[in-house]
């Protein structure tokens, strides 16, 4: 009996436009699937803590904003508790801890209305307040994971176990958002001199 020919692996494909159709149909004019796209609102009531805006832009290697990027964030509530049964502590019932937004089609800016997260303790080690970020867009085969820290948490950032492990200290600012009133602004660079630090998860 002849052996079947060895098949070639299919080529990887980038997210393309379909990620928005599947994950955020309202943004592309497909209505009726969800009243609001999943992850649209993180604050669902009288959430504890300081309410903030997190604004960011994702730039490609040429310095051009990715206007088709989709970004998800995960974070602890104001008390440093994740909305997860694995945390073992009750989280704020008026805060989801997860959000999903698309970049503005004109400017490339994405905005999250959220609360400032508290410091997280895991295995007895305290991490500075931060937001976990996942990015997908054209030209990205696998989603990219990074973090956003806050520039007004100087002492906590200095003691953070992840930031302290970064050997090239000049790259640490690529993970730190700058405060302007109640808004934190951040720039994420996929490539180039200012390339953001990404995590291999």
DSSP string, 91-160: PPTTB-SEEEEE--TTT-EEEEEEEPPPPEEETTEEE-SEEEEEEE-TT-SS-EEEEEEETT-HHHHHH-
**Tell me, what's the pLDDT at 40?**
87
**Tell me, what's the pLDDT at 4?**
59
What are the φ and ψ backbone dihedral angles of 21, each rounded to 5 degrees? -65, -40
Q: Round to whole Å and give the CA distance between 83 and 95.
A: 8
**Tell me, what's the pLDDT at 75?**
97
What Rg do the C-alpha atoms of the chain give, in angstroms?
Answer: 19
**Tell me, what's the pLDDT at 13?**
57
**Tell me, what's the pLDDT at 2?**
59
**Tell me, what's the pLDDT at 14?**
61
Are the CB atoms for 55 and 111 separated by under 8 Å? Answer: yes
Q: Round to whole Å and give the CA distance between 2 and 40.
A: 55
Contacts of 153 (CB under 8 A, 6+ apart): 128, 129
Question: What tokens appear for 95 in the block?
Answer: 């805060």
Q: Round to whole Å and give the CA distance between 32 and 138.
A: 26
The half-sphere exposure of 190 on its side-chain side, counting CA atoms within 13 A, is: 22
**Tell me, what's the pLDDT at 101?**
92
What the chain holds in terms of domains, given with CATH numbers, is 40-189 (2.60.130.10)
**Tell me, what's the pLDDT at 25?**
76
Instruction: Compute CA distances 2 → 7, 8, 9, whole Å.
Output: 15, 18, 21
pLDDT in 10s for each residue of the chain, 201 residues: 556 567 776 655 566 566 766 776 777 788 888 888 788 899 999 999 999 999 999 999 899 998 888 899 999 999 999 999 888 889 999 999 999 998 888 999 999 999 999 999 988 899 999 999 999 887 777 889 999 999 999 999 999 999 999 999 999 999 999 999 999 999 999 998 889 999 986
Q: Which helix (H) or strand (E) holds 187?
A: strand 183-189
Distance of CA 36 to the CA centre of its chain: 19
């Amino acid at each position: 009996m002849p052996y079947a020919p060895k098949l070639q692996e299919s080529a990887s494909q980038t997210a393309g436009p379909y990620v928005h159709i599947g994950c955020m149909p309202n943004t592309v004019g497909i209505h009726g699937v969800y009243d609001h796209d999943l992850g649209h609102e993180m604050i669902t009531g009288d959430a504890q803590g300081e309410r903030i805006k997190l604004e960011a832009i994702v730039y490609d290697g040429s310095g051009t904003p990715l206007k088709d990027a989709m970004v998800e964030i995960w974070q602890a509530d104001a008390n440093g508790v994740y909305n997860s049964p694995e945390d073992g502590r009750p989280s704020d019932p008026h805060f989801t801890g997860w959000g999903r937004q698309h970049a503005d089609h004109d400017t490339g800016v994405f905005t999250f209305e959220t609360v400032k997260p508290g410091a997280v303790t895991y295995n007895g080690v305290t991490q500075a307040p931060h937001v976990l970020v996942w990015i997908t867009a054209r030209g990205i085969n696998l989603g990219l994971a990074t973090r956003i820290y806050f520039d007004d948490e100087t002492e906590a950032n200095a003691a953070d176990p992840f930031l302290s492990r970064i050997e090239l200290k000049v790259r640490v600012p690529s993970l730190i958002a700058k405060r302007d009133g109640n808004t934190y602004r951040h720039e994420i660079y996929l490539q180039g001199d200012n390339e953001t630090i990404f995590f291999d998860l």
